[in-house]
A and B are shown apart, each in its own frame.
Chain A
Amino acid sequence: MRRLASATYFSLPLIALVVLWAIVVRVFDVDPRVFPGIGSVVGAAVESIRDGSLINHVAASMWRVVVGTVLALVLAVPMGIAMGVSPGISSFFTPIFRFFSVLAGIAWIPIATLWFGYGFGAIVFVIFNAVFFVVTYNTLLGVTSIPMPLRHAAASLGAGPWQMVTQVLLPGALPNIVTGVRTGLGFAWRGLIAAEMIATNVGLGYMLFVARDFYRTEVIVFGMIVIGVLWMLIDRLLLVPLERATTERWGMVRAE
Chain B
Amino acid sequence: MSGALQFWNARVWAPYIRATARWPWLRSIVPFLPLIALWWAVAEAEFVPRAFLPGPVEVVASFFTLTYKGILPEYLSDSVTRLALGAAVGIAIGIPLGLLVGLNRTAHRALWPILLFFQAIGDIAWLPILLIWFGFGLTTMTLVIVYTVLFPIVLNTVLGVRSVPFDLHRAARSLGASPARVVWEVVLPGSLPNIMTGLRNGLGYGWRALIAAEIIVGTSGIGFLMFDARRAGSVVEILLGMIVLGVLWYIVDAWILAPIERATGERWGMVQRR
* Chain A residues with a Cβ under 8 A of chain B: 9-14, 16-17, 33-34, 88, 91-96, 98-100, 102-111, 113-115, 141, 144-145, 187, 189-191, 193-194, 197-198, 205, 208-209, 211-212, 215, 217, 220-221, 223-225, 227-229, 231-232, 235-236, 253, 255-256
Known A-B contacts A14-B114, A14-B117, A106-B211; A33 and B122 likewise in contact (beta carbons under 8 Å): no
Across the interface, do A111 and B235 meet the contact criterion of CB distance under 8 Å?
Answer: yes
- For the A-B complex with A13-B110, A111-B235, A193-B122 known, give 18 more contacts whose Cβ atoms are closer than 8 Å: A10-B113, A17-B114, A88-B13, A95-B31, A106-B209, A106-B212, A107-B208, A110-B215, A111-B238, A114-B233, A144-B274, A190-B208, A190-B212, A224-B126, A228-B117, A231-B121, A255-B271, A256-B159
Interface-located stretch among B86-94, B182-190, B245-253: B245-253
Q: Which residues of B contact A235 (CB under 8 A)?
A: 120
Q: Is the interface of B mostly helix, strand, loop or mixed?
A: helix
Q: What does DSSP make chain A's interface, helix, strand, loop or mixed?
A: helix
Judge if B118 is at the interface, Cβ distance under 8 Å.
Answer: yes
Task: Report 18 cross-chain contacts, Cβ distance below 8 Å, ordered by A residue.
Answer: A11-B113, A14-B113, A14-B117, A93-B31, A95-B27, A99-B32, A109-B212, A110-B215, A115-B52, A189-B122, A194-B216, A205-B124, A209-B128, A212-B128, A212-B132, A217-B129, A220-B128, A231-B121
Q: Are A98 and B129 in contact (CB under 8 A)?
A: no
Also in contact, A110 and B129, with CB within 8 A (given A98-B254, A194-B216, A255-B272): no
Query: Contacts of B52 on A, CB cut-off 8 Å?
Result: 114-115
Q: Does B60 contact A (CB under 8 A)?
A: no
Contact A190–B124 (Cβ < 8 Å)? yes
CA distance in complex: A107, B271 (Å): 32
Whether A228 and B274, one on each chain, are in contact in the complex, defined by CB atoms closer than 8 angstroms, is: no
A79 to B180, CA, bound (A): 51
> A197 to B216, Cβ gap below 8 A?
yes
Q: A96-B35, A212-B131, A256-B159 are in contact. Are A13 and B121 (CB under 8 A)?
A: no
Q: How far is the CA of A204 from the CA of B215 in the complex (A)?
A: 18
In the complex, the 9 A-B pairs of residues with the closest C-beta atoms, listed nearest first: A228-B121, A212-B128, A110-B230, A231-B120, A194-B212, A110-B226, A228-B120, A232-B120, A193-B124
- For B111, the chain A residues whose CB sits under 8 A away are 13
The listed residue with most A CB atoms (<10 A of its CB), out of B13, B128, B229, B271, is B128
What's the Cα separation between A21 and B219 when bound, in Å?
34
Q: Flag if B118 contacts A228 (CB, 8 Å).
A: yes
**Chain A residues, CB < 8 A from B271:** 255
